[in-house]
Structure 1
Amino acid sequence: MPVYHHILLAVDFSPQDNQIIQRARNLSLQSGARLSLIHVLDNIPMPDTPYGTIIPPDTKTDDAMLEAEKQKLNQTGDTLGIDPACRWLIWGEPGEEIIRVAGQENVDLIVVGSHGRHGLALLLGSTANSVLHHTKCDVLAVRLRDD
């Protein structure tokens, strides 16, 4: 297994996120790699905000949904000991933004969850599938299981 220097953990704050978080944490500890965190907002209406906009996790807004997402990102980052400068909250299409940040930050491993979709959902694509087929670095797609 290659030694990784920078791992990007992509979370969507689903109930199964803990599986991805634990895998990324263990890989980071085993390899001594820096761990970064990304969450891409694609389910919150953000009028007049273009895709690719980075939302600073330390600024306050009047939007309760956005504040809840910031709080989740910061709680996860704090739990993992991730430097606030290595946490990204971005409005956009998840696959594209994960790939963009990974390239920009010289990430050599992306850890993302995979729901193992089949049929029409597979044809329409998924974040894990998009990342796997379009990024230049290694990808670990953690199979998510319902607890």
Structure 2
Amino acid sequence: MYKTILVPIDMAHVVEGKANVDLAASHCAQGSKVILLNVVEDIPNWAAIDLPAGQFEKSVELTTTELKAIAKASGMHMDVDVRVGHSYDTILKVAKERNVDLIIIASHRPGFQDYFLGSTAAKVVRHANCSVLVVR
């Protein structure tokens, strides 16, 4: 069993994220901590100028609310963390900061661009300093 489990959730794939939360619950030991993480992709300044005022902050707030609802529905106490940055870098950074034992991450069928750039899950697997469970 694991002491600290990180579950990154892509809000575009919430169903898979909820399934990973259930999976995390099954891998918890007594007193374990589960952290739900969403990474809001940083928007370049040239693009952010065209957004309505406060739109980015509203997005972060809405995401936090949705993650808290997922945590509450699980019946377990979970930490919720919403960060701004690039997905795989931020996932690895949070895993290191919070001394995570296991990352449970969803994977999707790779698209054309993933063959050249690599998916977030693949990058996390290659660079994580802890166990990673990839769920497809």
Give the SS at the match of 1:36. Answer: strand
Counterpart residue number, 2:70: 79
Aligned residue number for residue 43 of structure 2: 45
Deviation at 1:70, TM superposition (A): 2.2
Post-superposition CA distance 1:29-72 (Å, at most 9, x none):
45233111111121x5263xxxxxxxxxxxxxx52243133222
Aligned to 1:11: 9
TM-score between the two structures when normalised by the length of structure 1:
0.71
Q: Which amino acid aligns with 2:58?
A: E
* Larger deviation, residues 92-101 vs 74-83: 74-83
Corresponding residue pairs, total: 124
Deviation at 1:106, TM superposition (A): 0.8
Q: 1:27: Cα distance to partner?
A: 2.6
Structure 1 residue 118: deviation in Å?
A: 5.3
Higher strand share: 2
Superposition deviation, residue 120 in structure 1: 4.4
Q: How far apart, in 1, do the equivalents of 2:27 and 2:113 lie?
A: 38
SS in 1 for 2:81: strand
Q: TM-score, normalising length from structure 2?
A: 0.76
| Alignment partners' CA distance in 2, 1:27 and 1:80 | 11
Structure 2 portions without partners, runs of 5+: 46-52
Q: Among the aligned pairs, what percent are the same residue?
A: 24
Give 1:25's aligned amino acid: D
Supply the RMSD in Å over aligned alpha carbons.
2.4
Moved beyond 4 Å, runs of 4+: none
Match of 1:90 among 83, 98, 110: 83
Q: Of Structure 1 and Structure 2, which has the larger fraction of its residues in helix?
A: 2
Distance 2:43 2:113 in 1: 25
Aligned residues of 1:9 and 1:21 also touching (Cα < 8 A): no
Please give the alpha-carbon distance, in whole angstroms, between the structure 1 residues aligned to 2:61 and 2:105. Answer: 19
Distance 1:139 1:78 in 2: 25
> Structure 1, residues 6-28: CA drift from partner, whole Å, max 9, x if none?
111101201x3222322223332
Distance 1:64 1:91, change over 3 A: same
